Amino acid sequence: MTWLITGGAGYIGAHVARAMADAGERVVALDDLSAGVPERLPAQVPLVTGSTMDAELLKRVLAEHGVTGVVHLAARKQVAESVAQPMRYYRENVGGLATLLEAAAGAGVERFLFSSSAAVYGNPDVDLITEDTPCAPVNPYGETKLAGEWLVRAAGQAHGMATVCLRYFNVAGAAAPLLADTGVFNIVPMVFDRLTRDEAPRIFGDDYPTPDGTCIRDYIHVADLAEAHLAAARRLAEGGPAGDLTVNIGRGEGVSVRELITVIGEVTGDRRTPLVEGRRPGDAPRAVASAARAAGELGWRARRGVREMVESAWQGWRLHHPE
């Protein structure tokens, strides 16, 4: 098979491209380079610069490279930005997906892997979030991911396309420093940024109903996430009954914000006391995945822990932010 990876030069996309190429899969990457970095991609993976909203480009890429499967990661993904620019998020995340699915169906592509998010669940009051937990997104970003899942399933049923939707939890770490996340949008780089600027980390709320009062999240190493994509792609390639499979990708273990900041302090050597500020609207006390379906359906389990995530992310941060 030949896989088209959209968003393939991005933080997650480049990890997926490398994991699949290293495993012997034929891969081509598509990225508009709004956040992607071409140097992240291995030499054997060709990069096409362009958007999933460009129907003619998609048709050409699918034909020229003989694409038989798609891994769709390209999307806007910042919650606050989605609240400020909801039309843009629906246009690019849902409209771009529709254009891609139409092109894929027209080219006879029969395998489609969709990058979704735990944001589709909203803030459920459960100990472990299973794939059957009701979806109730609380921001436009989560809404576009849920709408994307609906669209992927509908297109798959209409065009005989086997589909898998992977719902990521909190992604961190790097397989190599060059591949590290260069944005300052997720908690680990946000803490690094504060420390680099000689400022204390911030905790938003320490009065939640959790053991230490701070929010609990499920963190997944990006290299484990990439391996989950490889497992899902191979499941699709086997032609098994994967018509509308939806899978959580997490470790199934919760780590509090305070615990995470403690690990970051140990790794960086900067153990200053964090500042506690008021709660942010919409933050759930606890969001931890059930990883049972991933193990049963994909034969995949996360192998890396939080300290490895922080250590690898810190190496990447120092490469991209030299003193």
Please, what are the domains in the chain?
2-171+219-249 (3.40.50.720), 173-218+251-320 (3.90.25.10)
The identity of residue 305, as a single letter, is G
CA-CA distance, 285 to 269, in Å (whole number)? 28
Mean pLDDT of 144-157: 97
Mean pLDDT of 78-106: 97
CA-CA distance, 208 to 128, in Å (whole number)? 17
The percent helix, strand, coil of the chain (3-state, each to 5) is: 45, 20, 40
Between vectors from CA 72 to CA 252 and to CA 148, what angle results, nearest 5°?
80
> pLDDT tens-digit profile of 163-186?
999 999 999 999 999 999 988 999
DSSP letter string, 153-167: HHHHHHHT-EEEEEE
Mean pLDDT of 216-230: 98
Which residues are known to be catalytic?
141
Beta strand pairing call for 170-172 and 255-256: unpaired
CA-CA distance, 132 to 55, in Å (whole number)? 34
pTM strictly above 0.85: yes
User: Would you give the DSSP letter of residue 160?
Assistant: T
113 and 68 in contact (C-beta within 8 Å)? Answer: no
Q: What is the mean pLDDT of the chain?
A: 96
Q: Measuring CA to CA, which residue among 262, 244, 256 is closest to residue 286?
A: 256
pLDDT level of residue 282 (50, 70, 90 thresholds): confident
Beta strand pairing call for 170-172 and 219-221: parallel
Residue 54, phi then psi, degrees to nearest 5: -95, 95
CA-CA distance, 20 to 226, in Å (whole number)? 8
Residue 23, phi then psi, degrees to nearest 5: -85, 5
SS3 label, residue 156: helix
Block residue for tokens 């590290």: 180
CA-CA distance, 210 to 237, in Å (whole number)? 42
pLDDT of residue 240: 56
